[in-house]
Amino acid sequence: MDTPKFKPFIRQTISHSRQWEWIPPDLQEAVQVVSHVLPFRTNEYVLDQLIDWNNIPDDPIYRLTFPHRDMLAPDDYARLKELVMGKADQPALVELVRRIRMRMNPHPAGQMTHNVPRVNDAPLKGLQHKYKETVLFFPSSGQTCHAYCTFCFRWPQFVGMEDMKFDAKESHELASYLRMHPEVTDVLITGGDPLIMNTRSLEAYIEPLLAPDLAHIQNIRIGTKSVAYWPQRFVTDRDADDLLRLFERVVASGKNMAIMGHYNHAVELRPAIAQQAVKRIVGTGATLRMQGPLIRHINEDPASWAELWQTGVRLGAIPYYMFVERDTGPREYFQLPLARAHEIFQAAYQMVSGLSRTVRGPSMSAFPGKVVIDGIAQVGGEKVFALQFLQARNADWVRKPFYAKFDPHATWMDELKPAFGKEKFFFEEEGGARSEFGAEPPGARKVIPLLSARQEGGGAAPASAGCDSHSAA
């Protein structure tokens, strides 16, 4: 049997795909124009197996992977089209693209300004540490994906915005940082997509985490869209078996190997190979959790979410999160009112059994933490959103209920106002902020000394002064 080879397509090569001629000229133009601002990359499996070409542009996976003109403001699109098609004024094109991108909030929720730990008062490249228990690690060789989602909040990683990148070239700084932070139990290896790497490269990042002096690391997570966009990674790729053996070694070491599978629509789990990938992953003893954002034009149908969760549970996966689309990129194109998000989540939740009700949502990964909308209620004669933190910069905020005035148009945390005549939410009164553009979180900056190679080998190490409050609170 011939093993399918991964074949990507980008703006410069998509016309070589057999499906290109099926796309009407106006949609072809949108791909060529908008992809100068937003990343575009797809692959043969997505084109052949996931998109219904009789239903474009409304097919959800087409909208999920192909840029559309409405992702840009009409004036921006018109000017961009003029410069792209004219091919004359390259400096003007570069400058316009830069201006459009910078208006798109390229680092939401303070991920560059507040989530990056500092070592000797310098940022530690390739790491984020927003919540006490969890460190995010961005290996440099995993900073692309099998295909790009048009909504992706990490889009600056893929478009050449070098000062917006998270990428770590070495793993030793991660291990050194973790040794100084015994409160960390989870490491999330993310990107891009770490599973774009071959198994040998991935192993070089994971093996150091199995060392005896990192016994406090209980969970090694990998964030990946490959389960949906290239399930062959777990089934027929040349080193697919090696990848599964790596998962087994992590499990045998006593740690949990957690695959955080990004799914956006039920169709992504319908192909036989996608289901086989799930079975092979869970067969190693690893866990597979399913998560994704609720996105206008893509997955507003509660029945699609219910099918996705039910299919996943049947195969051994765990429904985990329904997120609210983040306030970045072409958010006006994708965002839904929070009231509508809650309505869709509630309808999908009602369709499934208790085994699928491990899912949490709709959840906003906002600046102060993960805020879930628990419900819409009448309290003291006032219609309100009932909210709480599932994770927070300050652990004392977690699971503490709070309320916002009901607003049928609000789409994000910073658009909500406190209920019952209050001027601030409780966490703002305690020094927190609703948005990365608000007040600094409480706590003074502290310097974290990094162990040198000599010191790791047995020399005296300087005393740790604690963790930067931006990253670990």
- CA nearest neighbour of 316 among 292, 288, 345, 347: 288
pLDDT surpasses 90 at 130: no
The amino acid at residue 422 is: K
The predicted pLDDT at position 168 comes to 55
The predicted pLDDT at position 440 comes to 42
pLDDT band at 106 (very low <50, low <70, confident <90, very high): low
pLDDT surpasses 90 at 437: no
Name the more confident of 333 and 314.
314
Q: What is the mean pLDDT of residues 66-87?
A: 91
Surface-to-core class of residue 315, CB atoms within 10 Å of its CB (0-12 exposed, 13-18 middle, 19+ buried): middle
pLDDT digits (tens, 9 = 90+) for 355-387: 999 999 999 988 889 999 999 999 999 999 999
**Range list of β-strands (E), 225-300:** 256-262, 287-294
pLDDT band at 432 (very low <50, low <70, confident <90, very high): confident
- CA nearest neighbour of 364 among 315, 407, 414: 414
The predicted pLDDT at position 458 comes to 38
Q: Tell me if 217 sits within 8 A of 186, measured CB to CB.
A: yes
Q: What is the mean pLDDT of residues 15-34?
A: 96
pLDDT digits (tens, 9 = 90+) for 262-307: 999 999 999 999 999 999 999 999 999 999 999 999 999 999 999 9
For 335-362, give the secondary structure using H, E and C. CCCHHHHHHHHHHHHHCCCHHHCCCEEE
pLDDT band at 199 (very low <50, low <70, confident <90, very high): very high
240 Cβ contact partners less than 8 Å away, ≥ 6 residues apart: 232, 233, 234, 280
pLDDT band at 169 (very low <50, low <70, confident <90, very high): low
pLDDT surpasses 90 at 80: yes
Name the more confident of 469 and 88.
88
Q: What is the mean pLDDT of residues 26-36?
A: 95
**Distance of alpha carbon 316 from alpha carbon 278, whole angstroms:** 7
pLDDT surpasses 80 at 455: no
Averaged pLDDT of the chain: 85
The amino acid at residue 221 is: R
Q: Tell me if 101 sits within 8 A of 156, measured CB to CB.
A: yes
* Percent over 90 (pLDDT), the chain: 65
Q: Which two tokens stand for residue 10?
A: 């980008």
Q: What is the mean pLDDT of residues 409-420?
A: 93
pLDDT band at 117 (very low <50, low <70, confident <90, very high): low
345 Cβ contact partners less than 8 Å away, ≥ 6 residues apart: 294, 302, 305, 322, 361, 362, 373
pLDDT surpasses 90 at 97: no
Average the pLDDT over each of 1-15, 193-207, 236-250 and give the range with the smallest value.
1-15
288 Cβ contact partners less than 8 Å away, ≥ 6 residues apart: 227, 258, 259, 261, 278, 281, 282, 312, 316, 317, 318
Name the residue ranges covered by the structural domains of the chain: 8-103, 337-432
The predicted pLDDT at position 191 comes to 82
Name the more confident of 113 and 314.
314
Chain-centroid distance, C-alpha 261: 10
pLDDT digits (tens, 9 = 90+) for 241-263: 999 999 999 999 999 999 999 99
The predicted pLDDT at position 252 comes to 98
The predicted pLDDT at position 113 comes to 47
